[in-house]
Structure 1
Amino acid sequence: MANLFGLRGKVAVVTGGSRGIGYMIAAGLVVNGVKVYITARKASACDDAAAELSEFGECISLPADLASAEGLDTFVREIAEREPAIDILINNAGAAWGAPLGEFPDIGFDKVMNINVKAPFMLTQALLPRLEARATAADPARVVMIGSIDGIRVPIGDNYSYSAAKAGIHMLARHLGAHVVGKHITVNSIAPGPFESKMMEYLLDDDASRQMVVDQVPRQRIGTAEDIAGTVIFLTSRAGAFTTGAVIPVDGGISTIRMG
């Protein structure tokens, strides 16, 4: 029981780890003794984030565009050259698009679905040999998909492709989880509510709109780094070894609000 949430010595990959929720997760893992590889499309941002996190532990920057076949292949090859096994994969990188109904463009669906659903699937598939390498019945490898509360409840805005993609990633986690459980790999998803992130800065940087967001959260606040990192630590430690195929809202109670 004393080591129930221990992670020291494990190796993790966190996509979209240079900012927002991905950075919060990477920080939580690094501080708890995990060797963390972060990736992001912007090399300078990825390098800067890894340098900051390296003050607290081991964090390595491997910039890549995982939405492209070439970028994904290069990233997987670099990981394979460095690590014989991966214990934790956090599929966090994502994109959003908003446009009024009747004006929503093709690219607004293609880009969001490619980054939010296809890329996590292809990366997980490519890393399966590394995830299996050290996995055991007592200590399985862990895959965590970062979905969204907008994939559970009907959003207020016009982010049609985003909500569809996040609902898709929740089901993808369940579907993958069912197929790899026999390989000693668990797959779960987290559905965050409002957190400080690039996607939400247009709302949270303005005092009035920030308060509007807070007013919609039963817990009456924005999520913190501890909130999201704590859930990831649960899922990736011994504490979460018997949990797979789950969708866990980390939303301050938004998913519990009754309509009408």
Structure 2
Amino acid sequence: MFPELFSVSGKTVLVTGGTRGIGYMIAEGYLRAGARVYITSRKEAACAEAATALSEFGEVQAIPCDVTSEDQCQALIDAIAAREPKLHVLVNNAGATWGAPLDEFPDAAWDRVLGANVKAPFTMTRVARPLLEKASTEQDPARVINIGSIDGLAVPGVPNFSYSASKAAIHHLTRHLAAELAPTILVNAIAPGPFPSKMTAALLAEAGDQLKAASPVGRIGEPADIAATAVFLSSRASNFIAGAVIPLDGGLTTTIGIKF
């Protein structure tokens, strides 16, 4: 019985932004754990390439979608509903970032980043709700997992103002949706620290050693870390967790201190 608590075998999962970075790591983790996985990205070529690579680990399908478009979100869910009777897990991972000095930070950066990082997860959750409800049982509710960031928990050392604000917003939206959708759908968030990805490549190249030194565990995140957390939050082992924001950062934010 105990191993079954952590099982996601046979579940159907949608990972937005699943063609690279953290989304790809999460998708691979679900596949290795026996789930059927749908991934999406704006670019059709990226979808095809990622699906080919991920197919080594299990049953995966890729459907292009711009999650900032309500119509495309609905079309994506309709396409999945035409193939699947229900959806057990939605991972809202797709997002955008922007960095610029304060005096040069444009208004467009707010529209783009908040649209992708806050509005899109809300819209995707709303349109996916009927398919998620079909998968939900009293013993094993459906799940929504939002990918936040430690930049929404602590002030980052880079001028990514709209990004950090959007991640604080998705953390609170997670709590709000959890209150609205539980017990049928359990909504939680993961707030990753530094992980190797295209988005963090420049930061890790410049300050990777400092980040490792600052971390109580002495390293940055690895694919297994994010994959295992997502699988746990999708299994019956997490049935009593709702509205949580889990810092996945090796203690960077949870052990931070002030020195005088």
Normalised to the residue count of structure 2, the TM-score between the two structures is 0.96
Stretch moving more, 193-202 or 211-220: 211-220
> 1:259 aligned to 2:258?
yes
* Alignment partners' CA distance in 2, 1:17 and 1:167: 22
> For 1:2 and 1:223, how far apart are their aligned partners in 2?
25
Residue by residue over 1:138-171, the C-alpha shift from the partner in whole angstroms, topping out at 9 and shown as x without a partner, is 1000100000000001111100000000000000
Partner of 2:196: 196
Does residue 246 of the first structure (1) align with residue 247 of the second (2)? no
- Pairwise CA distance, 1:210: 2.0
User: Equivalent residue for 2:34?
Assistant: 33
- Offset of residue 259 of structure 1: 2.4
SS of the residue 1:188 aligns to: strand
User: TM-score, normalized by length of structure 1?
Assistant: 0.96
Question: How far, CA to CA, are the matches of 2:151 and 2:65 in structure 1?
Answer: 27
1:59 aligns with 2:57: no
Task: Say which SS state the counterpart of residue 102 (structure 1) adopts.
Answer: helix
Does 2:225 match 1:224?
no
Residue by residue over 1:72-100, the C-alpha shift from the partner in whole angstroms, topping out at 9 and shown as x without a partner, is 23212212212221000000011110111
- Residue type matched to 1:224 in 2? E
Q: Deviations over 1:161-217 (max 9, x none)?
A: 0000000000011100001104x110000000000111101122x3x5321232232
2:141 paired residue number: 140
Aligned residues: 257
Q: What secondary structure sits across from 2:14 in the alignment?
A: strand
Q: Which residue of 1 aligns with 2:130?
A: 129
CA offsets 1:119-138 (integer angstroms, 9 cap, x no match): 00000000100000120111
**Alignment partner for residue 234 of structure 1, among 232, 235, 242?**
232
Q: Distance in 2 between matches of 1:200 and 1:6?
A: 31
- The alpha-carbon deviation at position 46 of structure 1 amounts to 1.4
Q: How far off is 1:3 after superposition?
A: 1.2
Letter in 1 for 2:20: R
The residue identity in structure 1 corresponding to 2:108 is I
Match of 2:85 in 1: 84
Q: How large is the Cα RMSD of the aligned pairs?
A: 1.1
Unaligned ranges ≥5, structure 1: none
Tell me the equivalent position of 2:163.
Answer: 162
Q: In the TM superposition, what is the alpha-carbon distance from 1:26 to its structure 2 partner?
A: 0.2
1:105 is displaced (CA, Å) by 0.2
Give the partner amino acid of 1:159: N
How far did 1:68 drift? 1.6
After TM superposition, give the deviation of residue 63 of structure 1 in Å.
1.1
3-state SS of 1:189 partner: strand
> Per-residue displacement from partner, 1:39-73 (whole Å, max 9, x unpaired)?
01111111111111111110101111111223223
Letter in 1 for 2:104: E
Aligned to 1:116: 117
> 3-state SS of the aligned residue for 2:187?
strand
**Separation (CA, whole Å) in 1 of partners of 2:162 and 2:251:** 24
Return the letter of the residue paired with 2:53: E
Q: Offset of 1:229 from its aligned partner?
A: 0.7
